[in-house]
Amino acid sequence: MSSKRSEVAQELGKFLQAFWLELPAAAARNFAGNGGGEELRDAGWKAYDAWISLTNEATNQLYENPSLGSVAGRTMETALRIQQAGSALASAFFGNLWPAVGLPTREEIEGLRTEIAALRHEVTAPESGHRTTATDHRFVTRSADGRKLVRHATVTHAKTQDDEDAAA
C-alpha cells in the first residue's frame, strides 16, 4: 500500500513541477520573445501527460480497494431494484390509464401498420395487363371503382385554344 501511495506522490510531484514551474517559465520566455512556440507547446504537453498519469494512478489505487468494490456492487444492485420497482409501478399505473384516456395500445398500432402495409401492397401491385418498357418505371393499375392509378408518372398536357384564352 505504501508503494502505491509513493507512486501517487511521485506522479503528483511530476505534475506540480510541470504545471507550476516548467509551463509558466516556458510561457514567460515565449512572451518575452526568448523562446519559440515549440518550447511552450512541449511544456504544455508535459503538464498534460503528468496530469493524466496522476489521475490514472490515483484511479487505479482507488479501484484496487476491495471495500470500494463491495460498496459499488451493492449500490448497483440497489439501483437496479429501484429501477425494476419503478417500471412495475409505471406499467401498473399507465396500463390502466391508456384505455381510460382512449389512447391505442401497442397491439392496435401494430395492427394498423399491418393493414396499411397490406393496402400499400394492394395499391402498388400491378394488374395482369400492365405494361412497362425498359425505361418506363411507372406502375399502372385500376382501382375498385375503375379509375386508372399511375404511380411515379409525369403528365404533360397539350395546349389548346381554350387554355390560351383562359390565361389571357
Mean pLDDT value of segment 46-74: 92
**Position 45 pLDDT exceeds 90:** yes
**Position 141 pLDDT exceeds 90:** no
**Position 167 pLDDT exceeds 50:** yes
Per-residue pLDDT band at 133 (split at 50, 70, 90): very low
The packing angle between helices 2-16 and 37-63, to 10°, is 160
Per-residue pLDDT band at 164 (split at 50, 70, 90): low
Provide the H-helix boundaries in the chain: 2-16, 23-32, 37-63, 66-101, 106-124, 161-167
**Position 153 pLDDT exceeds 70:** no
CB atoms within 10 A of CB 1: 8
Q: What is the pLDDT of residues 72-111, one digit of tens each?
A: 889 999 999 999 999 999 888 887 777 778 778 788 889 9
| Residues contacting 57, CB < 8 A, separation 6+ | 4, 7, 8, 11
Sketch the domain layout of the chain as residue ranges.
Answer: 2-64, 104-156
Res 151: pLDDT: 62
Alpha-carbon distance values, 78 to 17, 86, 126, 152 (Å): 43, 12, 59, 58
Q: Residues 4, 56: contact at Cβ < 8 Å?
A: no
Query: pTM for the full model?
Result: 0.43
Q: Residues 47, 15: contact at Cβ < 8 Å?
A: yes
**Any idea what the Cα angle at residue 156 is, between residues 150 and 158, rounded to 5°?**
135
